[in-house]
Structure 1
Amino acid sequence: MATPPPYPTHPDGHAGGGALGHAHWWQRRWVRYGGLITLLALSGLVILALVRQQTGTEGFLVGLGLAVLPVPLLVAAFRWLDRVEPGPWQNLIFAFAWGACAAALIAIVANSFATHWIATAIADPNSADTLGATVIAPIVEESAKAAAVLLVFLFRRRDFTGIVDGVVVAGVTATGFAFTENILYLGTAFGTDQLSGGHGLASVTAATFFVRVVMSPFAHPLFTVLTGIGFGVAALSAERQQVRRVLMPVVGLLLAMGMHAMWNGSSSFGEYGFFAVYASFMVPAFGLLTWLVIWTRQRELRTVREELPAYAVAGWLGPVEPYVLGSMRARRLAREYARHHFGKAAARSVAEYEAYATSLAFLRHRGRRGRAGADFVVRESELLSALWARRGVARPALAHAARVTTPVAPPVWHGYGYMPLYGPPQYGPPQYSPTAPYPGYNPYRS
């Protein structure tokens, strides 16, 4: 068995780490996970009972069937954004469950209580509903959803390293919240149609489905993503930048509340207020945030290409692997090669190798910028050991991807001659052959 190479030095030239103390019983993983699962399960049962009480059994089933339609598309979109350094699936399950159960329960209870209190205080139910929708609901709902992002940020810090992680966790949380809210609205609309006899395209259910599922399935994710960006900026900040680490999540949350309030208040802006806000504000904001996240993802790939050569020089990675691991197309080709030649288990190993290498690049990037924690060396050792254990399957697959995707440099011309890639200089026009790099085009062929 090959001996692993020595570890590269810390980017700052010193080592970190240290022994971890014994955790108290309430800090043990099984205690925290057990308590969290119990909380989410109880919240789910209560929210199920409340929604069913308001919609009826038939309305609940209709609402559930319609509300589930956008969920796979939204979750797939956020998973696509997270492909550079995929986070653990447990984080996404927690985020969705928190949004669908805990955050939805908090919102229903708090919004109902606040609206009832306002109606009692000002004795005007119409004004209470408007004030509740434009002021109370954005504050309560965005705070409830932000709690999931905060929990992942605090307790799964290794998995929360930048803006994309914040966007994904926040977006999936909001997707879960919108799922439960859509069940309530669609189920209530179906009950209204049952009483009024509405059917077809003129029904309240069809109108509600069009507005909430067809036109604006991204509304709640768009609001909460602003909070996620705030936490992502905090994750990128150095530990000494305490003001920034606290202030940016708060700014993101306030922006999410403001956008949510504008969206909820659009119905009071006149007959076409909803469409005006949708076209002039929501769609541009969605496009801008989409561009920001994709640009951030490309920057992450560039970080991989810039940081991993240090480990290739040390012998931990193959010479071409920094390039391959910095290209999504090359990564996909490597997984496909492993699956075709060695099976699904090998493809999973290659995917894990890519994820560990990406985490290693981000870890070293934070270390160079002085943002690495005290466990830098411990974490680096874990990631390098995981890579070394999977190198037997991953390296042939990555080498194949490099051969397929590495561009072939054209010959360099010098006067009337050219310098080939290999061998001595030649003069005159290059001689193309069926095996030449560019067989499809020969300007000298008659």
Structure 2
Amino acid sequence: MRMAAVFTLLALCGLVILVLVREQTGSTGFLVGLGLATLPVPLLLAAFRWLDRVDPLPWRNLVFSFAWGACAAALISLLANTLATRWIATATADPASADTLGATVVAPVVEESAKGVALLLLFLLRGREFSGVVDGIVLAGFTATGFAFTENILYLGNAFDEDMAFGFAGLGSVTAATFFVRIVMSPFAHPLFTVLCGLGFGLAAAAPCGRRVRRVLLPLLGLLAAMGMHALWNGSASLLGPWGFFGVYGAFMVPAFALLTWLTVWSRQRELRTIAARLPSYAAAGWLTATEPSALSSMRARAMARDFARRTYGPAAGRTVAEYEAFATSLAFLRNRAHRGAAGPDFAERERELLHHLWLRREVAAPSLAYAARATGRAPQVLPHRDYDGFNPYRT
């Protein structure tokens, strides 16, 4: 019921932002902007989804993040930015100064705050599914991609409308220049800003439960960093001119994007190492076979196990193995959070629930993972039984 109410509200925000954007761009400009703005969206979403393959987030969280960015955050930003810029223009009697202040000061604060609300809601209401850095980065990426999608419709639609009014066409048109800057050069700009906020929430989610100050300060620091980078990006065009823009792009934005890309890939590899480190204790206790922890810590072996089950037993078996892999991954992350003191008081209950799901699927998953472990040369890893302190009611 609550989820239906949230998505109904987002749909209403989407209708309102649709009307507002169409009023500014006109029908033809809106359609042109929509078509051009759609181009980078599948690539960005696929990239963030790839990062999330080890422990995939529920689709409802990803859809909510994208919809919030495209509808709610875009609507809040459009209204707040417009009102703030008009107020500054009235107070200073200088429209040009108002536009500059709006772009460099107001927009970064309003837009990053509006996008950050999606992360805050998921952090507070879906804390069990928000477990670390990769989750924060992926959710921030989906939110910012949705926001950039709507914003690009507006910018590209306005550019096309201007070209129609003044007769510009071809590579010298405003539409071509806007497309090059926003779609070709910097499709990652908004995701890059908001990922800093997501990084803060991810670090907070991984922090021990008793570190309340850290869990509050880290998201705030991430939000401030996102605002600062956003202000630098907007200011490079508004205050420094074209050459300043390209200077900031080459000297700061590209290296920052490369650094965050490395961080996200490293974080994904760290997730696989966590699986390899935490699951052997369950193998020692009899919940998993000796080869499963190694197979589950390899993306290649996991894919091979699903394919083997699908070919040998049918599509339903392939889905069963995929579910088994997901539950085993969640179990490894849960135990890792407990090892750091961040699992919460319901650790034992959640552990039993995940082990129960594994046991129900073990008959199909175990031979498939064993085959994948042999095919990929993954050696078994079994830790001493003392690392596991749970009770196995299914052992015989």
TM-score for both structures, normalised by structure 1? 0.84
Q: Are 2:370 and 1:399 aligned?
A: yes
Provide closer, same or farther for how the CA distance between residues 40 and 142 of structure 1 changes in structure 2, counting only shifts above 3 A: same
Contact 2:22 2:30 in 1 (8 A): yes
CA–CA distance in structure 2, aligned partners of residues 50 and 407 of structure 1: 56
Cα displacement (A) at 1:270: 3.2
Cα displacement (A) at 1:154: 0.7
Cα displacement (A) at 1:333: 1.1
- Give SS of 2:242's match: coil
Cα displacement (A) at 1:123: 0.5
From 279, 296, 302, the equivalent of 1:325 is 296
- The aligned counterpart of 1:14 is none
- The aligned counterpart of 2:354 is 383
How does 1:119-134 map onto structure 2 within 5 Å? 119-134=89-104
Deviation per CA, 1:267-321, whole angstroms, max 9, x where unpaired? 1213311110110000000010111111111111111011101111111111100
- The aligned counterpart of 2:254 is 283
Q: Are 2:119 and 1:149 aligned?
A: yes
Q: Are 2:95 and 1:139 aligned?
A: no
From 222, 232, 242, the equivalent of 1:252 is 222
Cα displacement (A) at 1:407: 5.7
From 47, 51, 54, the equivalent of 1:84 is 54
CA–CA distance in structure 2, aligned partners of residues 241 and 399 of structure 1: 41
CA–CA distance in structure 1, aligned partners of residues 40 and 241 of structure 2: 29
Cα displacement (A) at 1:249: 0.2
Deviation per CA, 1:225-253, whole angstroms, max 9, x where unpaired? 00000001101111111111100000000
CA–CA distance in structure 1, aligned partners of residues 258 and 277 of structure 2: 29
From 242, 245, 248, the equivalent of 1:274 is 245
Higher helix content, 1 or 2? 2
Contact 2:80 2:110 in 1 (8 A): yes
Query: Which amino acid is 2:114 matched to?
Result: A
Cα displacement (A) at 1:364: 0.6
Query: Which amino acid is 1:335 matched to?
Result: R
Cα displacement (A) at 1:213: 0.6
From 363, 367, 370, the equivalent of 2:338 is 367
Query: Which amino acid is 1:63 matched to?
Result: G
How does 1:204-243 map onto structure 2 within 5 Å? 204-243=174-213
Cα displacement (A) at 1:408: 8.2
- Give SS of 1:187's match: helix
Provide closer, same or farther for how the CA distance between residues 388 and 39 of structure 1 changes in structure 2, counting only shifts above 3 A: same
From 310, 321, 345, the equivalent of 1:339 is 310
Deviation per CA, 1:113-162, whole angstroms, max 9, x where unpaired? 00000000001000100000000000000000000001111111111000
From 298, 307, 312, the equivalent of 2:283 is 312
Query: Which amino acid is 1:201 matched to?
Result: L
Query: Which amino acid is 1:375 matched to?
Result: D
CA–CA distance in structure 1, aligned partners of residues 152 and 315 of structure 2: 37
- The aligned counterpart of 1:179 is 149
Contact 2:55 2:326 in 1 (8 A): yes
Query: Which amino acid is 1:60 matched to?
Result: F
Deviation per CA, 1:6-39, whole angstroms, max 9, x where unpaired? xxxxxxxxxxxxxxxxxxxxxxxx2x21321221
Contact 2:291 2:378 in 1 (8 A): no
CA–CA distance in structure 2, aligned partners of residues 343 and 108 of structure 1: 50
- The aligned counterpart of 1:200 is 170
Query: Which amino acid is 2:314 matched to?
Result: G
Cα displacement (A) at 1:343: 2.7
Query: Which amino acid is 1:320 matched to?
Result: T
- The aligned counterpart of 2:235 is 265
CA–CA distance in structure 1, aligned partners of residues 79 and 315 of structure 2: 47
- Give SS of 1:238's match: coil
* Aligned structure 1 segments of 4 or more residues deviating by more than 3 angstroms: none
Contact 2:66 2:143 in 1 (8 A): yes
- Give SS of 1:390's match: helix
- Give SS of 2:267's match: helix
From 82, 93, 98, the equivalent of 1:112 is 82
Query: Which amino acid is 1:392 matched to?
Result: E
Flag structure 1 segments of 5+ consecutive residues without an equivalent. Answer: 1-29, 410-446
TM-score for both structures, normalised by structure 2? 0.94
- The aligned counterpart of 2:385 is none
Query: Which amino acid is 1:325 matched to?
Result: L
Cα displacement (A) at 1:344: 2.5
CA–CA distance in structure 2, aligned partners of residues 107 and 215 of structure 1: 23
- Give SS of 1:87's match: coil
- Give SS of 2:241's match: coil
Provide closer, same or farther for how the CA distance between residues 408 and 113 of structure 1 changes in structure 2, counting only shifts above 3 A: closer
CA–CA distance in structure 2, aligned partners of residues 187 and 98 of structure 1: 21
- Give SS of 1:272's match: helix
Deviation per CA, 1:372-420, whole angstroms, max 9, x where unpaired? 11111111111111111111221121111101111689xxxxxxxxxxx
- The aligned counterpart of 1:33 is 3
CA–CA distance in structure 1, aligned partners of residues 8 and 40 of structure 2: 27
- The aligned counterpart of 1:296 is 267
CA–CA distance in structure 2, aligned partners of residues 168 and 408 of structure 1: 31
CA–CA distance in structure 2, aligned partners of residues 265 and 381 of structure 1: 53
